[in-house]
Each structure stands twice: as C-alpha cells, then as structure tokens.
Amino acid sequence: MKESYAAVAATAHPLAGREMSGAEILVQVLADEGVDTVFGYSGGAILPTYDAIFVHNQACERESRPRMPLIVPANEQGAGFMAAGYARASGKVGVCLVTSGPGATNTVTPVRDCMADSIPIVVICGQVATAAIGSDAFQEAPVASIMGSVAKHVFLVTDPTKLEATVRTAFEIARTGRPGPVVIDVPKDVQNWRGPFQGAGRLPVPGFRHRMNRLARNSLGEAECERFFAMLGEAKRPLIYAGGGVVHAGAAHALRTFATEHDIPVVTTLMGLGAFDTTHELSMHMLGMHGAAYANYAVEDCDFLIALGARFDDRVAGNPRKFAANARIAHIDIDASEINKVKTVEWHHVGLLDEALEALIAYGRRTGFKRDRSQWLEHCAALKRVHAMNYDRASPLIQPYHVIEEINRITRGDAIISTGVGQHQMWAAQYFDFKHPRLWLTSGSMGTMGFGLPAAIGAQIANPDRLVIDIDGDASIRMNLGELETVTTYDLPVKIVVLNNCGDGMVKQWQKLFFKGRLSASDKSLHKKDFIKAAQADGFKYAVRLENKADVPRVVREFIDFKGPAFLEVMIDPDAGVYPMVGPGQAYDQMITGDHIPSRHRAEIQAPGESEMF
C-alpha cells in the first residue's frame, strides 16, 4: 500500500476555522477519509460521537450528500469482524466505533485477528473522562495497555487539540506499509471539548514516515533484476509461492502477468487465495497443512521458489528445514522482518510488491528473457491429474465437499466467500474457485471461530451488488449467532450455509488421529440447537434444513437464487475429514491424503510433538 509523503501545498478545507466539538471533528475527519459506513455499538462514553454521526447524517440528507450509515451488531466483537470483512472485501479501511470498558475489550479479538492477517481497520473507543482515567471508574478499561500488544498502533488522546491530527494519522498508519489495526481511545471530555477545526494536519510520527519513505524509494535496480533473472534462467522448475501480501498490495494483475509471461506455476497460501485465478492453467491452488496434494508436491519438486508477500508460516512450512528443500529461494515482501525469519533466502527485496513485479516484468521484456518450461508444466499438470482433490462420491450421506462443489458450479469463482474456522473453512478453501482477489474472507493466522457471519455482513455492506456467502460450521457460527438478526435488520442478501456435523469437527478429527479417539468435550454440546428455528426467529424468510443427498442440487439452486437473506443448514457426514493433512511440525513427505486422494509417499500418521500447536 503506497501513500505519498512529499510535502505538498494543502488545499484549504471548506470547514477550516469552524468551531466544533471533538466528536464533530472526529466525524468530519472520518468523512474526509472516505468512510462510508461505521460498525459499532453505542454506550455512555461514546455517546457524543454517535450523536455527532446522527447530526452529520441529517445534514447529508438535507444537502443530498452521501450519508455515513451506522451498522449496529449484536455485540462489539461482531462490529470488529464486520469492519474487518468490509476491509478485506473492499481494500478500504474498516471503522469500528465502541464505548469504553467492555465495549472496548470486546474488540480485542478482532483487533488481534486483523493484526495477524494484516487487515486495515480503525477502532475508536470511548473512554472515561481524562481526570477519571486510572480511578477504576464505571466502565473503565486500560485500553492502551490492553491493545498495545495486539494492534499495529494505539493512541490515547488526552489533548483535544491533537484529536483531529490523531484520527488522520490513525488511518495513515492502518493503510500504509504492512496494513493493520489502529486503536484510538478518546475520553468523553475530549469528545465534548469545543475548538476550531483545522481541516489538515497529521501527527509527526517521524520514525514511521521515515520507514514508509524508505520503502517507497526502495525500487528494484538493474543489478538486482539481473541477479534474479540469472537464478530464474538457471532454474528448470520455478514455482511462485504467493501470500496475502499480493492481495494487500493490489499486485494480482502484476503477478498474473509475470507468471504467464514466464510460464511459472503458482501456489497460494490460505490468505493468498484469489491473488491468482484458481481456474487458470498455471494455478496449483493452495499449499500447506490442508493444501492440495499436488500443490505440496510441486513445492517438493521445484528448484526455484519465488515467495511473494508470504511469510513461511507454520501452516505452510511446518518443518522449515524440509520445506522446499531442493529449491533456491527469492523473497519479496514489504516487511523486512520477514526476510530470513524462517527460511534463508538467496535473493530478496524489501519494498512495494506491485512495483517490484512491474520492474521484473519490464526487465524480462527488455532483455527478451525466455525459457522453455514445457517439461515442468507437463509435470505440474500430471500432478494435478493424479493427485486431484477427491472424496467418497458414492456415500449415501451428504458430503460437505459435494455441497461446496454444487455452490461453486453456480457461482463460478465470482462470489465473495466468508468462513468461520474449522473443517468447513478448509473445505471451502479447497473446493471453491476464486478468480479475483478479495473474494476470500477468512480468519487465517488467529483462526477465530465466529468470524464468518459478521465478516460476511461487512463484505455485503462494502459490495451491495455482489453475492456474499458465509460457509460456516455449527460450532463456529454459534459464537456470533446473534448477528443473524443484524442480517435481517438491514435486509442484507447474505447467504448463510451451516455445514452441521453436530460438534467441533476439526477438534474431533485431531482427537481421532492423535488422541486415540477420545472425544473430550467435542461432541456433547452441539446437539440441541435448532438452527432453522433460530433463523426464522431472527426474520429469515428462507430457512431450510437439507438432509437428503438427492436434494442437494435443487436446494442449493433455490438457496442461491433466493432474493434476500437466506439460511441453509446441511446435515453432513459427521465423520467427514479434511484431507490432505500435514501434521504440525511435519514435512510434505509425511502428508496424509486420506482414502480418496493418491499419495506418492507411504505416510504414517504421527502424533505431533508435545510443543506443536493445534
């Protein structure tokens, strides 16, 4: 994400010099930043700002200007995930507005989730009056201390004259460099203060601006391009490993151009889905713990791995020493701390990914670089044929993969897909196509259950004319089930699928594999919920339970074609698993492919070490 830091003459703001309250100033800056929707829940310490938005919207109606709608969730965690879904689906900064104390602490999980996945949101929290901070006042929480370890940056505004500059700076920090969440804690007396609106200005933050200027200036030179192409020229089996940074950088077009001009297959991370069209012949889809077997085998076979906006995380490089063990590695990323953090690389560039790819494309064209990749492409095509995704298609039970394939057959890779976290998340990643970036919304690094439904709401607000589908699980959706009412309150045409296996499916899969089938606390708590009645109680006109395999095509078509909010519960095979699977800390030659995907290794199921994560 690039922003100009050159000194320019500021055009005078039409409202400069007008006296406003702090709350009015805050709202005006939101409008200036292009905020068109605010997600949040009100409360005592943030009431002045909510009132200022109400007044702002009244003025907009009188003057025929775009309003700034307030979307009210069931709780503040939902608001945070709605802002995140909005940001993920639009590329703009999402805004969440909550009160002090529990209002603020309920957003800790979305803030950490956004930090982990590099998502730009601004969370504005009300706070008790400045004089009361530290006195354990009613609904007080030490927001700066709590959020400081999970956000990209936190501001506590105690000087009202700096409020305006602080809000502008928060947006700047959230969207530039490696994106992330910024929190602004605003005491109530600062919101009620009155003073002149400046119409311009940001905080100094010299260290941050220095880093951003350095990134913007750090372009790929001729010598660096020459070194890169020397490695590419020597390679017989190059492979691109594309992460979420490609999406954040708006570099999908450049990636496609580079890959197609040099005939290089592409694997993507979970967060990188959509960065490269999964229906393209060069796409090897997703790699990693639950990636396609053929994608992981391509990583094993490649001799030059080009990592773009990816960080070699533990879900991809479970055993770093054995990951891409036969390959030289080149790495482009905006975050210098990611270079050589997990894997030592032979070539790297820290800078803006889109510009770096354009520089490589230009160099390749200028020098007439070309290599015959036909043997490698044939090898990758064979991997895709032999080790294709598959499942028990003859089973009389409804297989979750079949349901997703049916939806995908209708949507053809053009729908926005949001998910909760668990088995359904991985099935969706494996069996959906994504032709473009920002169609795939999921909680990747944090793996936060309850993400799917509120994120879908945010995505639908950002894209009112797009088909938005939440693929969820019975356990995951229950975490934020209250947001069903938010869907119908705002009459959003979100489509919600609950793949119901009556329990925590992913936990059960691990317990079966690694804990001798002892289903401790994973299959006893999710049998009584009637999701159809819950959806109907919240106003869904279409709420259907699908139980017969023969009905899948018809019901899925009805569900997708329904005008308005729709809810579909599918009773799936409770023993359906997620395969392939690479155990934590293990290498790709230990990948378990299940009963229906051919494996080229004789892999034994091995329990992860005691120190390995879930």
Amino acid at 52: A
Catalytic residue among 1, 24, 28, 76: 76
Catalytic residue among 54, 138, 524, 613: 138
Q: If residue 38 lies in a helix (H) or strand (E), which one and from where to where?
A: strand 38-41
Specify the residue for token string 């949507």. 411
Catalytic residue among 24, 115, 152, 188: 188
Nearest to 113 by CA among 90, 72, 79: 79
| 351 contact partners, CB below 8 Å, separation of at least 6 | 215, 218, 219, 220, 332, 334
How many other CB atoms are there within 10 angstroms of residue 90's CB atom?
17
How far is the CA of 254 from the CAs of 9, 306, 359, 548, in angstroms? Answer: 33, 14, 10, 45
Tokens of 416: 């926005």
How many whole angstroms separate alpha carbon 400 and alpha carbon 417? 15
Amino acid at 329: I
DSSP labels, 218-273:
-PPPHHHHHHHHHHHHH-SSEEEEE-HHHHHTT-HHHHHHHHHHTT--EEE-STTT
Catalytic residue among 147, 286, 289, 506: 506
Q: Is the peptide bond before 580 cis (omega within 30 degrees of 0)?
A: yes
Strands (E), 112-159: 121-127, 153-156
Locate all alpha helices (DSSP H) within 268-333, ordered by sequence: 293-301
Instruction: Please return the burial class of 500, using the count of CB atoms within 10 Å of its CB with bins 0-12, 13-18 and 19+.
Output: buried
How far is the CA of 377 from the CAs of 291, 370, 388, 597, in angstroms? Answer: 19, 15, 16, 21
How many whole angstroms separate alpha carbon 119 and alpha carbon 141? 24
User: Does 139 participate in catalysis according to the annotation?
Assistant: yes
Tokens of 238: 């190059």
| 385 contact partners, CB below 8 Å, separation of at least 6 | none
User: Does 188 participate in catalysis according to the annotation?
Assistant: yes
Catalytic residue positions, numbered: 76, 138-139, 188, 506
